[in-house]
Amino acid sequence: MHLLIADFASVGLGTWALLGLALLLALAFEFANGFHDTANAVATVIYTHTLPAVPAVIWSGFFNFLGVLTSTGAVAFSIVNLLPVELVIHIGSAAGFAMVFSLLVSAIIWNLGTWYLGLPASSSHTLIGSIIGVGVANALMSDSHYWGDGVNWSKAKEVGMALLISPVIGFCMAALLLIVMKILIKNPKLYSTPDGNHPPPGWIRALLMFTCTGVSFAHGSNDGQKGMGLIMLILVGILPTTYALKSESSSAEIASLRSGLAASISYSSAHATGANTSTVNSDPGKVITSFLRGHHSTTPDLFAAIGAIAKKSETTLGSFESLNKIPEDKRGGLRSDLYLLSSVSSKLAKNHQLDSPAAEKEAKKLTSCINGVTNFIPIWVKVAVALALGCGTMVGWKRIVVTVGEKIGKTHMTYGQGAAAELVAMITISIADILGLPVSTTHVLSSGVAGTMAANGSGLQMATVRNILMAWVLTLPVCVFLGAGLFALGLNVIARLGFQ
């Protein structure tokens, strides 16, 4: 508590106002995410008459809440790794605030617009498009003036592939599952139009309830983390004494970090022969950032810079057995240095730019050790996001539900179709959550419904499918432009308020 009070005293009223606004926007994003994305989870139970609408939405909202609370944080920091490195390590600056505001405002605008039109669009696509827009704008406004340097393209490719493949998986696997169900389960009630006056048979109802619960929980666990990651960035930038490092890190984690830093220093020293010491010593962080922003080859300057940052981190860490013992004014800087080391080690290992498998293993180990003491989410952040997402689920759900339940297929959704689509969505999102990949609940489930309609020979309403595809295609470019424009505007406004 005394650390938090110390942080409170270290910032001014204007900064607190920006912090409050950023937290409010992050929670508003999750609230909109709730009624926009989670509506997909309840569409099948409502249209198969498994549950009335109001109990279904409350049920889904509750399990979204639980999903957020039990999430690991892997997806949250996967999103953070897409952001421009120089903005992440200077998150408390005007550019850092402008980045967060532009990301959240552009995502909220697109989510509300597609929700108003009743289009199942992806909050994941929305946020990632905004991140790319911010990265491009930041690069164009920097000294390099080269837009391609502003985005972690390798990470963007990884996330983009997850978002691209998951709807295909949803369509194909849901269609295949329905066909298998028809072969193995001969009960005709499972494939007939639901009776509007009676709930489904008990075992079918239990299956549909289970899949709705699973999708809601998985959605909370995956999508809820996106807002968490942005909230943590803001907290680290404004309140570094409390949030820069995980205070409850064990002595074993700290010892592993110290060992990893020593190995990095040794390796870098052996590969820094011929480095321009004046360039490296003046700003080693800039040398590393330049490498991370592009696809550059390794140089002695890079390894000299890595060694310098690792040595500085080792000195700051000292012989402390607890991160709480590190001087308060050193914690923010140590976090930034560790983030640089984690990012560059990960890139070098992934691109096989080190000279041996053993060196790659050590680089991956260092990244893991650093993540262990920096990547954490306080319980109050989880609770706040969980409440926002859960409450959002209970508000404004109807537009998306009607589209998924009535307008994708030409015939009424059967029990089997609802169960197949939900089961595939639940499994797909859960696997993505384990892998730390953000996927779209909207695209997985709506494509799953479409797949079951195709497999059943029910036919698709092509006007709706076309609109959903248009929203899917337009989300990225629109949000790129929104993110870039709002970043440039926000940077100008915040700088005029006196923040640097």
Q: Do 265 and 310 lie in a common domain? A: yes
Is residue 475 within 8 Å of 110, Cβ to Cβ? yes
Q: Do 364 and 402 lie in a common domain? A: no
The pLDDT, as a whole number, for residue 306 is 94
Q: Within 38-152, where are the H helices?
A: 39-47, 53-69, 74-80, 85-89, 94-116, 123-140
Q: Do 211 and 153 lie in a common domain? A: yes
Is residue 443 within 8 Å of 166, Cβ to Cβ? yes
The pLDDT, as a whole number, for residue 147 is 55
Q: Do 176 and 300 lie in a common domain? A: no
Q: Which of 330, 350, 374 is the last residue of a domain?
A: 374
If DSSP codes are grouped into helix, strand and coil, which group holds residue 118? coil
Q: Which of 341, 374, 407 is the last residue of a domain?
A: 374
Q: Do 458 and 324 lie in a common domain? A: no
Which contacts qualify for 179-187: CB closer than 8 Å, 24 or more apart? 179/455, 181/416, 181/419, 181/420, 182/416, 185/416
The pLDDT, as a whole number, for residue 351 is 87
Range of the domain at 357: 247-374
Q: Do 256 and 165 lie in a common domain? A: no
- Per the listing, tokens 């494509």 go with 447
The pLDDT, as a whole number, for residue 307 is 94
Is this model's pTM higher than 0.85 or not? no
Q: How many domains does the chain have?
A: 2
**HSE, side-chain direction, 13 A CA sphere, residue 279:** 16
Beta-ladder partners of 409? 460
Using alpha carbons, select from 181, 160, 222, 192 the residue that is nearest to residue 33.
Answer: 222
If DSSP codes are grouped into helix, strand and coil, which group holds residue 459? coil
Q: For 372-423, write each residue's pLDDT tens digit.
A: 999 888 888 889 988 888 888 777 666 666 766 666 777 777 888 888 888 8
Is residue 367 within 8 Å of 345, Cβ to Cβ? yes
Q: Do 231 and 268 lie in a common domain? A: no
DSSP calls for 403-433 = IIIIISBSSPPPHHHHHHHHHHHHHHHHHHH
DSSP calls for 151-185 = S-HHHHHHHHHHHHHHHHHHHHHHHHHHHHHHHH-
CB count within 10 Å of CB 483 equals: 30
The pLDDT, as a whole number, for residue 65 is 86
Q: Which of 374, 394, 418 is the last residue of a domain?
A: 374
Q: For 283-339, write each residue's pLDDT tens digit.
A: 898 899 888 876 578 899 999 999 999 999 999 998 888 898 898 889 889 999 999
The pLDDT, as a whole number, for residue 149 is 59
The pLDDT, as a whole number, for residue 369 is 93
Q: Do 284 and 368 lie in a common domain? A: yes
pLDDT profile of the chain (500 residues), mean per 10: 51 70 87 73 79 84 86 77 76 77 88 78 79 82 60 67 78 91 83 74 83 84 80 81 86 93 94 88 87 79 94 92 88 91 91 91 94 90 87 72 70 82 85 76 80 82 77 81 88 67
Burial class (CB within 10 angstroms; exposed 0-12, middle 13-18, buried 19+) of 306: buried
Q: Do 163 and 88 lie in a common domain? A: yes
Q: Do 458 and 420 lie in a common domain? A: yes
Is residue 88 within 8 Å of 80, Cβ to Cβ? yes
Q: Do 252 and 215 lie in a common domain? A: no
Q: Do 256 and 370 lie in a common domain? A: yes
CB count within 10 Å of CB 469 equals: 12
